[in-house]
Amino acid sequence: MPMESRVSAWQLGRWLIALRWAFRSAHSELAARYDFSTVRFHSRLPAILDEVFDYFAAVSRGPPGKGEAVVACVREYGEMTGRFLLGVPSQGR
């Protein structure tokens, strides 16, 4: 029997909202290297998954190799802005 996940639907929803917020806040900087023309902004929770998926799809088609695209995106944002794309630095807590 498969074990149940300890992650609730509420937690998954919050995680998606956090990802969407991070991508939206970095949109202008990342748009210089990645084609975000297919990204459609949504405000309702079920559609937020589509928006986050659109961002990941755009990043995966970006300049780096597909396997490294997401990591490269996060790294490039940090190098360009000096800020974290996801999360809060320990100094800010």
pTM of the model: 0.59
d(C-alpha 3, C-alpha 47), whole Å: 28
The rounded mean pLDDT for the chain is: 79
- Name the pLDDT band for 1 (thresholds 50, 70, 90): very low
pLDDT, tens digit, 9 for 90 and up, residues 41-56? 877 777 888 888 888 8
Indicate the burial class of 13 (C-beta count within 10 angstroms; 0-12, 13-18, 19 or more).
middle
Using alpha carbons, select from 70, 1, 62 the residue that is nearest to residue 34: 62
